Structure 1
Amino acid sequence: MNNNADHKNTIQFSSRKAASPAFTKLYSEGMALVEETAAYLETEGREEAKKLSRVAATLYAAESMRLTTRLMQLASWLLLQRALNSGEMSEDQVRSEKDKIRLDTNSSNKDVTAWNELPEKFTDLVRRSLRLQARVRTMDDGKDVSEDPSYSQDNPVLNQVNLLKTAFGSN
């Protein structure tokens, strides 16, 4: 087992991050995205998936699993941070739980066959989940997500460029 590789994929916690306004906003947005995605996949997404070609349906199923896995990992991270902030868990308890969380769930390459056949709302949820994952990783690295240039709400063009970078895995 390579400890360096494990360390870069594990979560770092700090109680000051959990108490910040940036975390509060990140938590709200993250949990809302989890709910929105679940509702979509259970209703509209299920209907849209039935209309896809066999190749696109297979891609949709695989990407749905990645999406739900990513969001569950992110929700776990957010809930642990909130528990630390509220005093429900000690830093030692959170540290022991954090080893179960991974923030490296990738998405399919957007150049794969049938990606452009996937429903627009579905691909939007994938992009947003990748962006949320990037923001959580930023906070986990000890940075304030509100200071992260990829999280500028004042520059919609920069936001779109950074979304594309996140979605396509470029830096």
Structure 2
Amino acid sequence: MTDSNDTPDLQSRITPRLIESLYTEAMILADEARAYFDDEGREERLTLEPFVRVGFACESLKVTTRIMHIVAWLLTQRAVEAGEITGADGGRPERRLGKATESDPAVVEQLPPSAQRLINSSADLYARIRRLDEGQLADEPVASPARALMGRLERDLIWNRT
């Protein structure tokens, strides 16, 4: 029999170890993307049709944007863990994962395999981080005015009885 208290909550899933692991993964991906789009990718890009070259450039920007949003979110999580900001502030828009544009599968399939791998890896990592970010909001208690009123009434009734 499983008690609801045995179910891990989001705080136990987002641990400093997980944040560090994801941060390392993001930084490795960022380095691979930089190396590819600055060097090897330039040569491959020259072999593409002009329209596909534009798609290549757009997708390289999308990869960079995804990675920057991921790194910013992970650094925010580190700051929460270090006590530099409070976890209760996590729902504020500037503490949430930034919106990244999705890749167009029709464009991606025309690109070289190395570019496809980086695009798909960045999209996968972004999706995993997005699930963690959305999970933080789902686990935050929603302030209910009715519950607050009931709590005050209960306190007042108990206080007046004594």
Give TM class, smaller chain: 0.5 to 0.7
Hey, what does 1:138 align to over in structure 2? 131
Aligned equivalent of 2:74, options 73, 78, 85: 78
- Contact 2:29 2:122 (8 Å CA) reproduced: yes
Change (3 A) 1:116 1:55: same
Give the letter for the 1:21 counterpart.
R
Hey, what does 2:29 align to over in structure 1? 33
Identity of aligned residues (%): 34
Q: Take 1:20 and 1:129, find their aligned partners in 2: how far apart are those partners?
A: 21
Hey, what does 1:54 align to over in structure 2? 50
Answer with 1 or 2: which has the greater Rg: 2
Q: CA deviation at 1:47?
A: 2.0
- Contact 1:71 1:129 (8 Å CA) reproduced: yes
- Contact 1:18 1:24 (8 Å CA) reproduced: no
Q: CA deviation at 1:17?
A: 5.1
Hey, what does 2:113 align to over in structure 1? 120
Q: Take 1:31 and 1:94, find their aligned partners in 2: how far apart are those partners?
A: 23
Give the letter for the 1:48 counterpart.
E
Q: Return 5+ residue gaps in structure 1 as ranges.
A: 1-13, 144-171
**Aligned Cα RMSD in Å?**
2.5
Change (3 A) 1:39 1:89: farther
Q: Return 5+ residue gaps in structure 2 as ranges.
A: 1-9, 137-162
Give the letter for the 1:74 counterpart.
I
Q: Take 1:138 and 1:48, find their aligned partners in 2: how far apart are those partners?
A: 34
TM-score for both structures, normalised by structure 2: 0.65
Q: Take 2:132 and 2:14, find their aligned partners in 1: how far apart are those partners?
A: 9
SS of match in other structure, 1:43 = helix
Q: CA deviation at 1:89?
A: 3.2
Q: Take 2:99 and 2:18, find their aligned partners in 1: how far apart are those partners?
A: 19
TM-score for both structures, normalised by structure 1: 0.62
Q: Take 2:13 and 2:34, find their aligned partners in 1: how far apart are those partners?
A: 27
Hey, what does 1:43 align to over in structure 2? 39
SS of match in other structure, 2:120 = helix
Q: CA deviation at 1:15?
A: 6.2
- Contact 1:15 1:85 (8 Å CA) reproduced: no
Count of residues in correspondence between the two structures = 126
Give the letter for the 1:117 counterpart.
Q
